[in-house]
A and B are shown apart, each in its own frame.
Chain A
Amino acid sequence: MWRYVLKRLVGLVVVVFFVLTIAFVIVRLAPGDPAALLLGPDATAADAASLRERLGLERPIFLQYLAFLGGAVTGDLGQSIFFNQPVTQVLAQRAEPTVFLALFSLLFAVMIAAPIGIYAAYRRGSFLDQGAVSLAMLAASVPSFWTGLLFQRYLATDLGWFPSSGYGGPDAGFLERMRHLMLPSLVLGIVNSALILRFTRASMLDVLGEDYIRTARSKGMGEARVILRHALKNAAIPIVTVVGLTFALLVSGAVVTERVFNLPGMGNLVVNSVLRRDYPVIQGTLIVVATLYVAINLAVDLLYAVIDRRVKY
């Protein structure tokens, strides 16, 4: 077990190295002088020259790469052009809404998907089962911004059930901020419920066919208990896996959803940064999100190992 953990950790370091390299290459492949690009149309040649000097762009590319790696490892992802602040600081300020949006939408997704998935598996082949599967497919096919626009328009503006946008004012407490996340989380949760529903259903079907379930039933155990006690416990493993997998889906969805609901999160920041030509922020977000993805999947795999002792490494 520990050897496995160690092996995975080494793997993680290598993957993060590749993530950093890809992020470096993307930004350095940009056509034109990066300094001029950073400074925008009003800059003079002298401004550009002094920025090149300050950013170390005159050095050989390999040295720049090493400096970039060194910086990233020590938590320095460069300086935001627009905010004139370290990228890490800018990102840290945007983490809260994005993290909670991701958590709540996962929660909504599981709350929607798990009961339906279990019930669909239990009533396999029934009208309800087919309906649930089709519904899941539909949820995964409708663009989330489309649902977002409609929900915002009708549930927030017209019915007033939710705030229509934003993250609360300066005196908004934690509860108030979370209230602003409910509608966006619901929108994102619906999209992400599709995959979870299908996984839950499939793994429940597997488990329901196992011998020990049949044994439990034959011993006269109540149906509800069979399902909840034995079956669900074993079906939890693939569900945990899929939750890790949907993280990327969640981030992509968060970019669009944060835009629709004007949440001051990392997704909205990236889109704004494109319009502001703030490349260091775009690069920094790529690095942070990709590293998180790798770390979360490692955590999920380790969790998997803990839940299921039978898995051998």
Chain B
Amino acid sequence: MTPGFTRLLFARRSVLLAFLVFLAVVVLCLLAPVISPADPAKMSVRARLTPPSGAFLLGADAYGRDVLSRLLHAGRVSLLIGLGVAVLSTLIGVTLGLLAGFVRPLDAALSRLVDAMMAFPDILLAIALVSIFGGSVFNVMLALSIVYAPRFARISRASTLVIRELAFVEAARSLGSGTGYIIRNHVLRNIVSPVIVQATFIFAYAMLAEAGLSFLGVGVDPSIPTWGTMINEGRQYIDTAAFLILFPGLAISISVLSLQITGDGLRDALDPKLSKEL
């Protein structure tokens, strides 16, 4: 990434701000074991539902556990799921797209398969998979990746189809360049921008979807704290301790919002043509 690109990306101050906010969230959560004021699992029953105070900066939950510490540790899981889904769906999607683009006989079938994958609403498919295979972090990631992969498949298939017909690729091929070479040097280079942009948004959607699943109680195992489970646990105290759903709700909203603004900025900077579409 050239300095020119960075300047372009952060030309809008809002994008810079959003990026810094998201970076801060990531760093804080990564450092959770170091900077957490308390053990996120440690209970002090007598201090249950303490409002934010000196001893508990963001208050204590129904077990008297420190909300700030739990928020930081839960963030690691929520971010991990977002990142995992972004990476996994890119891998699945791009592979499918390349296959469809290069292996002609597979194109029609793969394209319809991709349509079928896209037809399952994210939460619904995740619910089905999690109910059958259990609520591990990986299963949730896999389910969401299946739903989001088609977006990448479409981008890479379209790009492949265009590129393989270009004169210089024909020439390269006639000169003996293998398919692998063409993929690396032409197709991937061409789709890297839209894929990165799309992955940023998928990261955000996955975090929202995970929160929804945990809220429904059909997401990751409830003993693993995530921001969604924290809201689910806190909702019964909406009157006595509204901060219990306020802070994790803000954490989700801030992360998703900053990611989406960053994604917008990335799109504008990487590919001005794309910016009109969304």
Are A and B in contact, CB atoms below 8 Å, in the complex? Answer: yes
Q: Report if B212 contacts A (CB, 8 A).
A: yes
- B120 near A289 (CB under 8 angstroms)? yes
Q: Report if A180 contacts B (CB, 8 A).
A: no
Q: How far is the CA of A282 from the CA of B72 in the complex (A)?
A: 34
Q: Mark B197-230, 1 if CB is under 8 A from A, else 0.
A: 0000000100011011001111000000000100
Q: Point out the residues of chain A lying under 8 angstroms from B67, CB to CB.
A: none
- Closest beta carbon of chain A to B236's beta carbon, Å: 11
Q: How far is the CA of A21 from the CA of B123 in the complex (A)?
A: 19
Can you name the residue of chain B whose Cβ is closest to the Cβ of A21?
A: B116
Which of B128, B228, B245 lies in contact with A286, CB distance below 8 A? B128
Q: Point out the residues of chain B lying under 8 angstroms from A146, CB to CB.
A: 231, 245, 249, 252-253
Q: Point out the residues of chain B lying under 8 angstroms from A282, CB to CB.
A: 127-128, 131
Q: Report if A283 contacts B (CB, 8 A).
A: yes
Q: Point out the residues of chain B lying under 8 angstroms from A206, CB to CB.
A: 276
Q: Point out the residues of chain A lying under 8 angstroms from B103, CB to CB.
A: none
Q: Report if A293 contacts B (CB, 8 A).
A: yes
Q: Point out the residues of chain A lying under 8 angstroms from B168, CB to CB.
A: none
Can you name the residue of chain A whose Cβ is closest to the Cβ of B116?
A: A18
- A19 near B123 (CB under 8 angstroms)? no
- B131 near A274 (CB under 8 angstroms)? yes
- A26 near B121 (CB under 8 angstroms)? no
- Closest beta carbon of chain A to B250's beta carbon, Å: 9
Q: How far is the CA of A134 from the CA of B14 in the complex (A)?
A: 10
Q: Point out the residues of chain B lying under 8 angstroms from A249, CB to CB.
A: 121
- A290 near B215 (CB under 8 angstroms)? no
Stretch at the interface among A51-59, A136-144, A220-228, A229-237: A136-144
- Closest beta carbon of chain A to B258's beta carbon, Å: 9
Can you list 22 A-B contacts (CB < 8 A)? A11-B112, A14-B108, A14-B109, A19-B116, A27-B128, A31-B133, A134-B14, A141-B204, A142-B249, A143-B211, A143-B231, A143-B253, A145-B215, A146-B253, A199-B278, A251-B123, A252-B123, A270-B124, A273-B131, A274-B131, A274-B218, A282-B127
Q: How far is the CA of A214 from the CA of B248 in the complex (A)?
A: 50
- Closest beta carbon of chain A to B214's beta carbon, Å: 10
Q: Report if B260 contacts A (CB, 8 A).
A: yes
Q: Point out the residues of chain B lying under 8 angstroms from A134, CB to CB.
A: 14
Q: Report if B235 contacts A (CB, 8 A).
A: yes
Q: Point out the residues of chain A lying under 8 angstroms from B238, CB to CB.
A: 149, 153
Q: How far is the CA of A293 from the CA of B115 in the complex (A)?
A: 10
- Closest beta carbon of chain A to B92's beta carbon, Å: 14
Q: Report if B117 contacts A (CB, 8 A).
A: yes
Q: Report if B141 contacts A (CB, 8 A).
A: no
Can you name the residue of chain A whose Cβ is closest to the Cβ of B204?
A: A141
- A290 near B260 (CB under 8 angstroms)? no
Q: How far is the CA of A206 from the CA of B124 in the complex (A)?
A: 36
Describe A's contact surface by its main secondary structure: helix
Q: Report if B16 contacts A (CB, 8 A).
A: no
The verdict on A27 contacting B212 (CB below 8 Å), with A146-B231, A252-B124 known, is: no
- Closest beta carbon of chain B to A26's beta carbon, Å: 6
- Closest beta carbon of chain B to A135's beta carbon, Å: 11
- A141 near B253 (CB under 8 angstroms)? yes
Q: Which 3 A-B pairs have the closest CB atoms?
A: A18-B116, A290-B119, A141-B257
- Closest beta carbon of chain B to A301's beta carbon, Å: 12
- Closest beta carbon of chain B to A77's beta carbon, Å: 14
- B123 near A15 (CB under 8 angstroms)? no
- B123 near A145 (CB under 8 angstroms)? no
Q: Report if B125 contacts A (CB, 8 A).
A: yes
Q: How far is the CA of A198 from the CA of B131 in the complex (A)?
A: 35
The verdict on A255 contacting B123 (CB below 8 Å), with A141-B257, A271-B218 known, is: yes
The verdict on A145 contacting B231 (CB below 8 Å), with A18-B113, A153-B238 known, is: yes
- A294 near B124 (CB under 8 angstroms)? no
Q: Point out the residues of chain A lying under 8 angstroms from B260, CB to CB.
A: 137, 140-141
Q: Point out the residues of chain A lying under 8 angstroms from B122, CB to CB.
A: 248, 252
The verdict on A137 contacting B261 (CB below 8 Å), with A143-B212, A146-B245, A256-B212 known, is: yes
Q: Report if B137 contacts A (CB, 8 A).
A: no
